[in-house]
């Protein structure tokens, strides 16, 4: 059933940031009514790869949802949406700011219909500020938010982070905003607007880059795989692959040196503390790198695990799917889709002891639940629904 059981969410989102947010809410038990454009549907239905004609991209982001087609450019479509607003708790959209207002469906209109509504809007630059109306995608906000400027090999070109963290970060922050607004509503009965910008989220995730610049005046640059301020904290080549060693404090450094046969450098003052190791990085790294090549990755894993030194191999995606810990935590699950068949996808990352989330249904076929939802929430008859199809409203 999930901790959000009973929560009703109207999902007007498409592609990634918004669908990721509503997927999280659906995984935790909310009923997600996904509103899609008739015939075409969510843009991501047309993104590969495909399995039996169905987009795996779309299916991986839209599980636990019910699809209703609705043409919001028609007056009847708008009236149906407004009728839904009376019945739901949350509406989520990720249109460019101003789009919903042009349709006559902005927050100021919808809150008059349902003052308790939580209206969540995820967009590239937010609903205020000079960039508000500009379009954006993940790569744009990764570039503008500074993350690309500190990612990549030392001395190399700024590099986009592999996963679409511009979108995913906004999806996560939007879900948090919805839950915060719901808590406030539970206390006061009053809804509110949640305005999340992808660019804001990128700035919020810069971690220590801003702190380093503000304190030192030096503009952070790409530094490869090493940590900007902790040493050693990076991958090393072994005799057969690579392993990441993360020496997060001086006690771990001592344990690492003891088991890695580096006791001769452990006591040296220039390596004894993290600030000193950082200052003498160019001298220290080759000493560690030479030692790490003496054993295989698996041998080092056993040695370092036994010593309590954080470490891990650099897994490729196929290895991630077969990892024992990932499997034990149900982080790769198989969902059966009526057209595409079985598809593996990430599981629910939030583990709750009393009300666990779950994946109870695959991504919907376009318009699969139009009749069901119109009957359940708005008491439409079969004849009325047929007429709406004929008019191009559904």
- DSSP E strands in the chain: the ranges are 8-11, 31-36, 50-51, 54-55, 65-69, 90-93, 118-123, 192-197, 233-237, 242-246, 311-313, 332-337, 341-346
Strand partners, 208: none
Half-sphere exposure of 38 (CA within 13 A, CB side): 14
Active-site position among 11, 27, 89, 167: 167
B/e letters for 372-392, b = 16+ CB within 10 Å, e = fewer, are ebbeebeebeeeebeebeeee
Alpha-carbon distance of 49 to 33, in angstroms, equals 25
Beta carbons of 266 and 253 less than 8 angstroms apart: yes
**Is 382 noted as a catalytic residue in this protein?**
no
Using left for φ > 0, alpha for ψ between -120 and 50, and beta otherwise, residue 262 falls in alpha
Give how far Cα 364 sits from Cα of 50, 54, 189, 333, 377, Å: 15, 10, 32, 17, 18
Beta carbons of 178 and 92 less than 8 angstroms apart: yes
Which residues does the annotation mark as catalytic? 167
């Amino acid at each position: 059933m999930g901790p959000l059981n009973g929560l009703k969410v109207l999902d007007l989102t498409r592609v990634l940031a918004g669908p990721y947010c509503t997927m999280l809410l659906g995984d935790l038990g909310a009923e997600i009514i996904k509103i899609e454009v008739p015939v075409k549907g969510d843009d991501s239905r047309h993104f590969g790869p495909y399995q039996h004609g169905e987009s795996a991209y779309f299916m991986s982001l839209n599980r636990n949802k019910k699809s209703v087609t609705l043409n919001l450019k028609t007056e009847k479509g708008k009236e149906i949406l407004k009728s839904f607003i009376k019945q739901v708790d949350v509406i989520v959209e990720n249109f460019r700011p101003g789009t919903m207002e042009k349709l006559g469906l902005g927050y100021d209109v919808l809150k008059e219909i349902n003052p308790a509504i939580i209206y969540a809007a995820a967009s590239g630059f937010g609903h205020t500020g000079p960039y508000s109306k500009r379009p954006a995608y993940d790569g744009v906000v990764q570039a503008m938010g500074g993350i690309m400027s500190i990612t990549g090999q030392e001395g190399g070109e700024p590099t986009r982070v592999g996963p679409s963290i511009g979108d995913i970060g906004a999806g996560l922050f939007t879900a948090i905003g919805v839950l915060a607004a719901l808590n406030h509503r539970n206390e006061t009965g009053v809804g509110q607007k949640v305005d999340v910008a992808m660019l804001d989220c990128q700035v919020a995730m810069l971690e220590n880059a801003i702190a380093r610049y503000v304190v030192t005046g030096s503009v952070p640059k790409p530094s490869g795989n090493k940590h900007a301020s902790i040493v050693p904290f990076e991958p090393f080549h072994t005799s057969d692959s690579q392993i990441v060693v993360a020496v997060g404090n001086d006690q771990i450094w001592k344990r690492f040196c003891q088991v890695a046969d580096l006791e001769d450098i452990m006591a040296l003052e220039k390596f004894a503390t993290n600030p000193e190791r950082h200052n003498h990085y160019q001298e220290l790294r080759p000493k560690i790198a030479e030692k790490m090549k003496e054993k295989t990755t698996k041998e080092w894993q056993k040695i370092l695990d036994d010593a309590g030194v954080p470490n891990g191999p650099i897994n490729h995606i196929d290895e991630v799917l077969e990892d024992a810990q990932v499997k034990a935590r149900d982080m790769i699950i198989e969902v059966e889709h009526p057209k595409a068949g079985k598809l593996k996808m990430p599981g629910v990352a939030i583990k709750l002891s009393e009300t666990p989330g779950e994946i109870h249904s695959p991504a919907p076929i376009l318009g699969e639940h139009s009749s069901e939802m119109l009957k359940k929430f708005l008491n439409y008859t079969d004849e009325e629904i047929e007429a709406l199809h004929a008019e191009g409203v559904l």
